[in-house]
Amino acid sequence: MRRCVFFDRDGIVNTPPKEGGYVERPDDLVVEPAFLDALRVVVKHGYDAIVVTNQQGVGKSLYSEKTLGEIHNKLLNVVESSGLKILAVYYCPHLAEERCDCRKPKPGLLLRAADEWQIDLASSWMVGDSVRDVEAGMAAGCRTVLVNPQTDDRANVCIERIGCLPATLADVLGI
Ligand SMILES: [Mg+2]
């Protein structure tokens, strides 16, 4: 069984879009340097990395699934040219009111990934910058890291800034 670190996308993998906005085209995607450092730690400790992201902008017709694929190809290219690897990107394209099983805080994206890649969820982690990410990770049976916590302290580890993520992962994955 694989061990995995699931990463939320916006605010973790890439700089957050402007308030209430979306990454609508590949040029909008700016990969966080601290994410690449965190990914290096993940790989070094024998974990796989998977991105799990709510992309309601598809449901709102702000961008197509084809464009979303191009955005994710850009991400995978940046990661690969750093000598690193992301196993897969899973996204939920639905509107909140569609009540699907995959939009976080539901754990559907993580459960699907676990099924398709034989991932041991109890040995895996979910990293996000929203309470929804923590809830999805907990519901899937993962441990959780919350970046930029506001009032919620249910995550196993809370850190103030994305810049702290590489060192935090080195701590928790190294045990
Ligand atoms: Mg986020």
pLDDT digits (tens, 9 = 90+) for 117-156: 999 999 999 999 999 999 999 999 999 999 987 777 799 9
- pTM of the predicted model, to two decimals? 0.96
- The residues assigned a catalytic role are 8, 10
* Tally of structural domains, the chain: 1
* Cα-to-centroid distance, 8 and ligand 1 (Å): 6
What is the domain range of residue 86? 4-173
Peptide bond between residue 149 and the one before it cis (omega within 30 degrees of 0): no
* Cα-to-centroid distance, 133 and ligand 1 (Å): 8
Q: What are the E-state strand segments in the chain?
A: 4-7, 48-54, 88-92, 125-128, 143-147, 157-159
- What CATH number should be reported for the domain holding residue 134? 3.40.50.1000
* Cα-to-centroid distance, 130 and ligand 1 (Å): 6
pLDDT digits (tens, 9 = 90+) for 69-86: 999 999 999 999 999 999
